[in-house]
A and B are shown apart, each in its own frame.
Chain A
Amino acid sequence: MTDLLNSPEDMAFRKEIRDFVAAELDPDTRAKVVRGAPLVRDDFMMWHRSLYQKGWAAPGWPKEHGGPGWSARQRLIADEELFRLHTPPLPGFGFKMIGPILMRFGSTAQQQRFLPRILSGEDWWCQGFSETGAGSDLAALRTRAERTKGGWLISGSKTWTTYAQYANWIFCLVRTDPDVKKQEGISMMLVDMSAPGLTRRGIRLMDGTEEVNEIFLDQVFVPDDMVVGEINMGWTYAKALLEHERLGIGGIGRSKHLLERAREMARAAGCEAEPEIADALAEFEIDIMAIEATTLRLMAAAEAGVRIGAETSLLKIRGTETQQGLTELMLDIAGPSALPARDSGATEEPFENVAFQFMNWRKLSIYGGSNEIQRSILASQVLGL
């Protein structure tokens, strides 16, 4: 695999990460990640604790909030190495979403209360944005909050809530003013998952897992101090999220991990030298290189003070296309070996999760703004169409 970041300093930093992972990563967890098996709470939490003790839990956070103080270049390298070394990819709802929102828009009390607990893993956050009628058109959301003494009462429902079964907090977008333009009547609130009136139902997915949930809110009380920033400014805060850590959305580490996996499978299946397979493996390596080169170019521009905006949508589009394409290549390589169900007793290493990954990773081009939405963002915000 070609690594573009290979200066002596880069290599020393890679080694530091490799040494740490070699010493800390539980072999059973590693084996699950290698095989592409579904991960559960303990897999994530054990690894989270190791990273936390090392001070590496939140690579993107500034030092004063407990981040490691890495440069953007180091963060890319760390992401790449952690994927390559088969560590569990930690969900980003705390580190990459509500954490940065609170740092920027939250009250001092909210920051002091929540940020250390995100870092340590004491709190697990989930995201209450999507609703049945509000997916790509998120601003059409209808879950409402009504004024009551000392706070708000939320009623409505949320869906596609990833890992809500593990979460003790959820950050929600709710409608606080139904009479203005739809984007202008939305607020962001922090809700305790154990609050009376909040219930959860798991959604079984086609791959057999229950990664996502529905959340029902019936007159759930939220005190005033759990409102983020100002009332009716929630849309602005959510949009600001789109500008945080955007250079990482190409998912270079994940793509390289998948490509290495595909190549191992080709070797195991004895088809690595077949022209169709070898060409496909080579072209994916080149595609990943193009995403990486574009990421580095935008990063260098950002460091030089150029404002990088919506053009990062291209990283998401190409990153997810590549990753989904690799799950298809794995199917080509595996042939019928991809077919036995996971619990059939007839699965064959290393192909046991190939079909599962094809199904599971459909989500990549849907969540976080579907690739069609990303293309429309490029057209309107970058191209002026």
Chain B
Amino acid sequence: MIRFDIPDDETLLLRDTAERFVADHYGLAQRNVMLEQPPEQVPPHWGEMAELGWLAAAVPEAAGGLGLSAAQLVPMLEVLGRGLVLEPVGPVAMKCAATLARALPDAGAELEPILSGERIALVAEGAPGAPVSAVKTGGALVLSGVAPLVMAGPWAQVFWVVAELDGAPVLMRIPAEAADVTPVRLVDGQVAARVCFDGVRCAQEDVVTGCAEALAYGRDMALVGVLAEMSGLVDALHGATLDYVKLREQFGRAIGRFQVVQHRMSEMFIRREEVHSMARLAAEAMEGDDAAFRGKLVSAARVKIAKDARVVMRDAVQLHGGIGVTDELAVGHMLKRLLVLSQVEGGRASHLKRFRALIGL
């Protein structure tokens, strides 16, 4: 049920902790140093994030997690998004752990080292229309195909590969050393990998069948994480631009005194509010058993937020003027992060298509 309750104490505590973390570790200069690290190196604060409980937050208590709702995580993820953190909280906690908690009958043992930060496990998937395929050979399965862009891929010890077996999706547990992992630096400096599986053998006990529902849930949950980060970034761009138009003077007065600028800021404010609402709506939709309702709301939120984010990116740069296109302000870094988040977990077009199908159009 959609409620939009105001944040409870647990939610605020998570958010406040994240704010302190970002303030301590993620100044722009500190972050620039981290971006210079070789792509194979895990960013330095992973262990601390695990200790803070961020990786376990969304996992049910029965599987060893904290059992918080997606809605309770949104404000924390907004802070991590606007903070431009480089550790893969989204891919590990919101995607991989959420998927495994649903897909594995007894997920606790597998999740324990993941939630404690000891092991990085990621979901790896083929491109749309080009799934990784599995074939039965004797007692084992053989895996072939490419996952073209796995976020944080070089840091994984384990891949949970979504493969197609006899026309149905299965999850297969593959140690990273069995795959061919090529680091890929993304436009915003984040690290991903192209992961190739060339005849990788996988024992029967490492294959999970009947997991279509868990995969769909995990994809939606991952998207909720992405949308929450985008919401934080949109809010930060709005705030930075508002501050700037109040300070920047031309023609003898702050440019925010000009009506044309005021109306563009109003438009950006409206979009920020819509993004804020839709990120929460998507998170609330994760509760309950109605997968079609959940899918509709999550995809709707993706479509809306992607569109709004583009306008906010554009206007944030435009209203900053020349300084907005430099690498010196956080604005450019936020724009690049938003670009990345807009393209992963299914972009605007694919979710509009899914939404259309779900409403019978």
Say yes or no for A383: interface residue by CB 8 A criterion: yes
Given A2-B296, A286-B300, A376-B278 contact (CB < 8 Å)? no
Q: How far is it, in angstroms, between the C-alpha of A126 and the C-alpha of B45 when the chains are bound?
A: 65
- Asked if B3 CB lies within 8 Å of chain A CBs, one says yes
**Which of A92-100, A199-207, A295-303 contacts its partner?**
A295-303
Report B1-36 residues with CB < 8 Å from chain A CB.
1-6
- At the interface with chain B, which of A3-11, A79-87, A172-180, A355-363? A3-11
A300 and B276 CA atoms in complex are apart in Å by: 14
Chain A CB within 8 A of B257 CB:
yes
Which residues of B have CB within 8 Å of A289? Answer: 278, 281, 297, 300, 304
- One of B158-166, B170-178, B264-272 contacting the partner: B264-272
- Complex interface bits, A38-55 against B, C-beta within 8 A gives 1, otherwise 0: 000000000000000000
Q: Is A300 within 8 A of B4, CB to CB?
A: yes
Count CB-based A-B contacts (< 8 Å): 113
Contacts of A195 in B (CB 8 A): none
Indicate if A134 sits at the interface (CB-CB under 8 A): no
Q: Which residues of B contact A375 (CB under 8 A)?
A: 262-263, 266-267
Task: Type the 1/0 row for B290-326, where 1 means its CB is closer than 8 Å to any CB of A.
Answer: 0001001100100110000000000000000000000
B263 near A278: Cβ-Cβ < 8 Å? no
Q: Are B256 and A290 in contact (CB under 8 A)?
A: no
Which residue of the partner chain, among B3, B296, B297, B361, contacts A272 with CB atoms under 8 Å?
Answer: B361
A374, closest chain B residue (CB): B266
Beta-carbon contact of B273 and A314 below 8 Å: yes
Q: Assess the A376–B297 pair: CB atoms within 8 A.
A: no
Say whether chain B's binding surface is mostly helix, strand, loop, or mixed: helix
User: Contact at B361–A376, with CB atoms within 8 Å?
Assistant: no
Instruction: Determine whether B112 belongs to the interface, using a CB cutoff of 8 Å to chain A.
Output: no
B2 — nearest CB in chain A belongs to which residue?
A4
Known contacts A300-B5, A314-B269, A383-B242; A283/B274 CB under 8 A: no
Distance A107 CA – B61 CA, assembled complex (angstroms)? 59
Q: Is A12 an interface residue (CB 8 A)?
A: no
Distance (whole angstroms) from the CB of B271 to the closest CB of chain A? 9
A379-B265 contact, Cβ under 8 Å, with A296-B2, A385-B246: yes
Complex Cα gap A188–B261 (Å): 35
Which residues of chain B from 87 to 141 have any CB-CB distance to chain A below 8 Å in the complex? none
A279 neighbours in B (Cβ, 8 Å): 352, 356
- A residues near B54, Cβ cutoff 8 Å: none
Would you list which residues of chain B between 239 and 293 have a CB under 8 Å from chain A? 242, 245-246, 256-257, 259, 261-263, 265-267, 269-270, 273-274, 276-278, 280-281, 293
The 10 lowest CB-CB distance pairs between A and B, nearest first, are A379-B262, A293-B277, A300-B4, A375-B266, A378-B266, A294-B277, A7-B1, A293-B281, A385-B256, A278-B361
